[in-house]
Amino acid sequence: MRRKPEVFSSHSLFRDALLQKVLVMYGVPEPGLVLIKAFEGCHLSAYPDPLSGGVPYTIGWGSTRRKDGSPFRLGETITQAEADDLLRWQVEQHFLPALARIPGWAELNAAQAGAILSFAYNLGADFYGASGFETISRTLRLGQWVDMEYALTLYRNPRTHVEEGLLRRRLSEAEVFLSGVPGQDLSGAGVAYLATRDRTYRQNALLSDQALQYLAALKGEPSPSPSQPTISAEPLSPPAAPKPDGPRLLYLTEPNLEGDDVRAVQQGLAQAGIAIVVDGFFGPGTQLAVERYQKINGLTVDGVVGEGTRSRLLQRSLYVSDPYLVGEDVKAVQQALARQGLAVTVDGVFGPGTEQAVYSFQRQMGVLVDGVVGPRTRQLLTARRLYLTYPNLKGADVEAVQKALTRSGLAATVDGSFGPGTEWAVKQFQTRHHLLADGVVGPKTLVKLGAL
């Protein structure tokens, strides 16, 4: 029996060559890059994956790997030019080849292709024809541009905290797509929603009143295809990714994350003495406040509120209550008080004796004397003592002290390493402020420095 000729490999080679030819002719649709940059947000320092809380670490406009395929590590940084170049390279290598397989892709103009590129960058390069993407796939396959706004806005993860932001993105993609279709515009309701700057949430905590009004105005099913009298759209967007256990990661995104968890973090930052507006929105000001808190507390400075930052920031306040508060956090505070030379029983029970020790500590530090171990008192109690050792102590807390010394007019190299020069500057500072000039940065010196 004769074997059939090997046609698949040559067909595959021909197909790939054709795709490369299309890419060379077509190039990256610039409107797509504009949309991606408007909604993805750019981070020049690698941050943890929002779902896993760890790898893959993301940088730039959502990239997880370099051009050579190696992953980024937490804390690595790149320049803005490198981030832009990586985005374009990623689009050329991983998204356009997949999108070029969509029927009629080569006939789309830059606005249309750009809108679909933004959609794919958000939901996956291989969305076309996949389960859960039936409506958008059918709309693209049949060229039913009149249904494009409806089709795109299905994919917004309904009833989740990201629905509002995804609705705005989908409508923006629809607006760009339809700008490339003669005689076809975004609906009046869509235009009105995108023009709204001040949203209200009287009816739904997750979805604004303006979004609800838009969705109520968006009526109808997609147009029936010529070959099928009626086709009902899938009722929901593609299934949302499973939520991780525990609270969500908080970090700077576009649109800004918002909610009670953001507000709680902001309140914790304010109680810790960090200047911040408590409004429930995780904007640039909140990111800077988080980074400052992380520096002061010797945490990884990434502006991301993960488990470590959250547990340190949102520890419960300790005070005398009825019944008494008990637990390992009480014991840790008692141990810290004992290390400060204060008489206290380390039993894990916050009673009158512990309260008196807290009073004494607060008076010694010159802070509010209320007997309550809140973020400020806890920071002073748990901050590590900094002094000259070999090898030198290093860290964000050392850097914060060095910056405070320079602000006070003393010459100190800000390098995060506690060397002889830093010790000399600390002694000079202590002498000026009538503290024991021992070169050791303890709680009293930290308070005077304003390094907490």
Please identify every residue annotated as catalytic.
40
Q: What is the DSSP letter of 180?
A: T
Give the type of residue at 227: S
Q: How far apart are CA 276 and CA 313, in angstroms?
A: 14
Strands 58-60 and 325-326: unpaired
Paired residues of 260 in beta bridges: none
Torsion sign across C-alpha atoms 200, 205, 207, 213: negative
Residue with tokens 């077509």: 26
Measure the N-to-C terminal CA separation of the chain; round to a whole number of Å: 83
CB 295 within 8 A of CB 274: no
Rounded to the nearest angstrom, the gap between the alpha carbon of residue 257 and the centroid of all alpha carbons in its chain is 8
E-assigned strands of 223-342? 325-326
Q: For residue 45, report the phi and psi dihedrals to the nearest 5 degrees.
A: -125, 135
CB 177 within 8 A of CB 120: no
Q: At what angle do helices 328-339 and 352-365 cross, to 10 degrees?
A: 50
CA atoms lying within 13 Å on the CB side of residue 442: 14
Nearest to 107 by CA among 41, 38, 181: 181
Paired residues of 127 in beta bridges: none
Residues 6+ apart with CB under 8 A from 235: none
Q: What is the DSSP letter of 238?
A: S
Q: How far apart are CA 48 and CA 273, in angstroms?
A: 26
CB 435 within 8 A of CB 445: yes
Q: How far apart are CA 332 and CA 317, in angstroms?
A: 13
Give the type of residue at 351: G
Q: How far apart are CA 39 and CA 270, in angstroms?
A: 29
Q: How far apart are CA 17 and CA 97, in angstroms?
A: 11
